[in-house]
Structure 1
Amino acid sequence: MATAVQKITLSSARDIPFNKLVLSQSNVRRVKAGVSTEELAESIARRGLIQSLHVRPVLDADGAETGMFEVPAGGRRYRALELLMKQKRLGKTAPVPCVVSDAHSGVLIDEVSLVENMERAPLHPLDQFRAFQAMRDKGMTEEAIAAAFFIDVNVVKQRLRLVSVSPALLAIYADDGMKLEQLMAFTVSSDHDRQEQVWEAIKDGWQKEPYHIRRMLTETTVRAADKRAVFVGVEAYEAAGGIVLRDLFESDDGGWLQDAGLLDRLVAEKLKIVADEIAGEGWKWVEAALSFPYGHERGLRELVGATVDLTEEERATREALRNEYDRLEAEYAEADELPDEIDARLGEIEQALEAFEQRPAIYDPADIAIAGVFVSVDSDGSLSVDRGYVRPEDERPVDAEGDDTPEVDGGDGPVATPAVQRAVITIGGQPAEPEDDEEDGVKPLPERLVIELTAHRTLALRNAVAEHPDVAMTLLLHKLVSDTFRHTAPTGCLEANVRHIFFSAQSEELKDSAQASEIAERHGRWGDHVPADDQALWDWLSHLDDGTRLDLLAHCVSFGVNALFERPNPYGSGVSQHGLDVRLAQADRLARATGLDMVAAGWKPTVGNYLGRVTKPRILEAVREGAGQRAAGLIDHLKKGDMAKEAERLLADTGWLPEPLRLVDPDDGQAIEPGAEADAGDDAALPDFLSEDGDDEETDEIEDEDALTIAAE
């Protein structure tokens, strides 16, 4: 015969006037913790009493109920209600929701008080974040949320910042797979792919400290405390479109500037502006650089300038500042710590006195005409200008004995200093002449442009590999055999675990390219069928036919293709020069194996992706290679902006590619130049309006003039 399960009976609930309640002396909470009584009172006034009080009847000496009730569980709520009553915001007889337990229960009142506090589970930070997020989505501001819960607004911002973490990492944190401090470290970057890459790299290792995560996420960035960032100003960097990564959880000294290439360009532009201003003083040359090596002025003669005497008014001001400084120092000599306003004033006086001592020197105009200036950035981000250095080749010839008039080379007249001398300005060791006076030499492509171009090629290679399962199989097998038998082999252009490679720099048009669309569409088709359960995935893969398995293998392997150029790091972090060479060589091999043609893939030179990013000699070189010498000659007189626009039109259908996108000939290691046929016949490469020949010489001249006019439009 089955034993009947005894049913429990819950305590009854009813409203009790507040003046019938007293705080139990058996309440275990003695020490203040958590939200203060005042804050809890405000919360009750705003939202009402969310949780009822637990009370027990008070008995007299004979065991009869007295009509009063003691509160063993809910003492903080009772004190908050008591405070509201004292503030006349709650009536003495206001009904209070209470759960009334049996006065004759065998459970000690102390046990009730203790268990009420011990069984309370704190809210998970992720649940708090989701609640804050829901309230913000419904229209509450961060300040309003903070005020509603009596917390600092930065706490709300920190919790809401967790939305920038990848959902995959949030799920790992929810399952206790990582600590809160680690999760917070991931918020310095909003790139989910990069966050997941970092976690994959460290999850099985021993080095998973938050500082290590932040360092990996910001390894390609520049700290806001860097002298380049201080010199340019974070506001100017952001105004130019730069992104600043910030850490709301730790002191970040202003954050990290994500686009180092943009920052370097802004530094060069600002140095150029300063150099132009200084050149207006008449110096022969101005060298500007972020910094100069030690001893850069060795072998140069330094001019000694004359310091301008102070005026009577300036002397009086300087004397007054010195007296004030001495008086304040004497007045607070015995103080352990200076008041903030006194400390600030002393700093102002020191700066003013230093300005008097650092007055610019005055140089002889004849000396200025043969001397130059070094412009750089100090370690604190301030501008450093060193004037008056004469190079040996610029020294005046020694006067002949007894002759006060120096001779000019090849003549007998005196040395004539030009009325207007144009200074030779160099920025970072490179001439910074106006664009119309650019040198004929072809300079190396900017590093960021090479990275963007190789990002285009990497995406096209991924698409090509996915469409050639046989090549994907060879690539994967090559990688696995290399890892198995050649343990010191470089990584190459395929990541073994085939994770999505982060593009540190890419042009805006990349996401809208045909390859990006094809890859996304192919990924979507596969994703509709891939099971989420691990065992189900194994079973599904096991039942696929060989052709389908190869197609899926090619798609997955393609995501690990990495043909990106990046700056080699000889100190161990990142890729070495040898590793980069192997990567790019393998990328060329892949391109040949898949038959990849970047022209067929849809890449064309435009003002935005190439022509507007390089120098005029580079533009002319491109037009010569793609459209012929004659076309280049017709636009070589244009300004750079117009030249780039015209070059885009001339190269539109020529199939010309820049070096990073060309296929390297495996026999001689030289890039195969597209558009080579243009050199054999210039007319064939020119548009009709530039290549038509007339019947007579006069017609030819007219047509040439018309073509030149059209090219300049």
Structure 2
Amino acid sequence: MTSPSESPAAAGADPVRTGGAASGLAAVQFGEVRDIPLNRLKASPKNARRVGHSAEVIEARAASIRHKGVLQPLVVEPEIKDGQETGYYLVSAGEGRRQALRLLAKRKALAKGAAVRCVVDTANDPAEVSMDENLSREPMHPADAYEAFKDLAERKGYGAEEIAARFGVKPDIVRQRLRLGAVAPALLDLYREEALTLEQVTAFAVNPDAARQLQVYERLSPHQLTPHVIRRAMVEDKVISTDRRAQFVGVEAYEAAGGPVLRDLFTQAGGVCWLEDVALLETLAADKLAQVADEVRSAEGWKWASASLDFPHGHGCSRVWERLRERAPGESEAINALIAEDAELTEQWADIDPPPPEVAARFEAIAAQLEAYGDEYGYDPGELARAGVFVVLDAYGEARIERGFVRPEDEPAPEPQDEADAADRQAADASDPDDANEDEGWDADASDGVGEVEEPAGDPAAPLPDRVIAELTAHRSAALRDALAQNPDLALVALVHALAVRVFGAYPVPTCLEIQWASRDLTQFGEGIEDSPAGRAIAERHRSWARQMPSEGADLWAFVVGLDHDSRASLLAHCVGLSVYAVRNWDRRPHALAHAETLASALDLDMRDYWKPTAVRYLDRVTKAHIAAAVSDGVSAQAAARLSGLKKPDMVATAEPQLVEAGWLPPILRTAKPQPQAVDAEGEGRQRGLEAPSEAEDALALAGGDPHEPPQHGGAADPASLSAEDEEQAAASLAAAE
């Protein structure tokens, strides 16, 4: 070994120089280049790096060394103890390479004593060498690295896995860099010039079509060049894998049919991709729906089945519903006996789980027998023979089956009009004196008292004149109004009957009450309304009532009368509920919308039971600022701060479970709590928010209600005369409404 006093520098041996001492140029390298055994290299205590390299970095260095060797010699100094060299060397620069070599030796990829090219530098201060090693290097620009990865893949033919092995990184990282390297060169140049950010370049790289990238860049204005807008524009002609059509068909089935898929390499949500052949996807969805429709038609015996992606609201069909089946003699008694036995066994063994084997077997036998008897409701065979089903795709990617629709051409022919009735009507027309006078041009007033004509006796069996009938029945109508007003119970029956006639209008309108009823189609305002929890509950409740309705309109009154009080109230609530229309859109209705808030408050409506802040329903459709504000409001300010810097998809994926778990709602979906009981000037108790028009209505009007809308009467205070307390109440009501 060479002692420090005998080192080349100390002994007068010049280090390698570019032009010799006379030139005055600095040395290219100090020290002697030696091959030193790996097991003779140690970490230097003078290393300026106190935080060591991560395991991932060491893995990457090891992979690089394994494929390309040590590209840069280590800088070392001899270890000195008691004034003598120990034979070991301390690594001043290259500790990461030393650890990578030791890792390879541990894995038997090289010998523990393998020779390592080193520069033995005793001229420079080791601590300064270590510091310079870590500070003087400048990493290459990311755009240069992306293009270098792309060049390696194209020129050498390496795939992502091969490149990953050679550089010690994950294949997914390589795929991302290759995708970024394929971004249009003009856009990468803008990134180098800092005219674009990495987030913007990443958004362009979602779609590798360079021409499309430039097209989107030129189309968007500078203030539109946000990552979210860019990403949306890059895939606007494609279908995301969370789309209902993709969920129904399945990405695997779509790919098996030859459909190209564009995968998102830059979000951590996982599984997100875009299906590029929209026509193929819709064909596959339509074919699968048609298969479902054919299976339903064959299995249930319908005349026809029609499949479509969306429900054809303008189908022009009438609808039939299930009816109570006629049971064979003794069947109902047998079914009731089985149900009673099941209830008795359930009560008897309620505290023992599981019950004894013989009891469990009896439960199964009862269930099998009840299933064999079939559902108590079903379609009439004649209706099945002329009706059909619509099979449509719901918002969650599942087939929804709507049964019992009758096309106009399949409607049963109306019964021919009774000839006797027609003859009676003709006779009545002929016997009406007023009509006869008009037909014959007879005018009693024109006779001037000369030769008065005696009125013919007529037929006592002939119908009364129309005008007389109208007058008499007008008196009867007035009497009915008065009598019904004095009988609230029967008035409720008549109201339920009149509403049911219109809600389940499969027959003429057999009611004398002029009750107007309408139900707006809410699906025009948003997707997924029919398949939401509220939509499904309404449809099931409607189906349950519809199948109990009598088939003939004349029997509907007896049906309503025969209901018990609770059932009749439930039917009324269903019919009234369908008429609610509280959508905020271009049609400004401040008083109606204020009443919707009053109604929600009275019902103590909790939208958390009906709506969740999911990506599809909310987060994907609002800005990152809205998402951060929602998390801050619903979770915590700290949770919102952790979203800072995330890309929109990652932000959505992180925020969604937190907001759903917290039960967060946008302010417009929150229900104001009912105000406590207040006492007015006359001492009469009243509940704020339950009278019409309420303070919320006045507040909405003050906040910009339509000045041309007619005033709503009902005792509301003049907004100009509101007290300070009332103004505070109006402001609170308006805030709740908005």
What TM-score do you get using the length of structure 1 for normalisation?
0.43
Q: Which has the larger radius of gyration?
A: 2
What TM-score do you get using the length of structure 2 for normalisation?
0.42
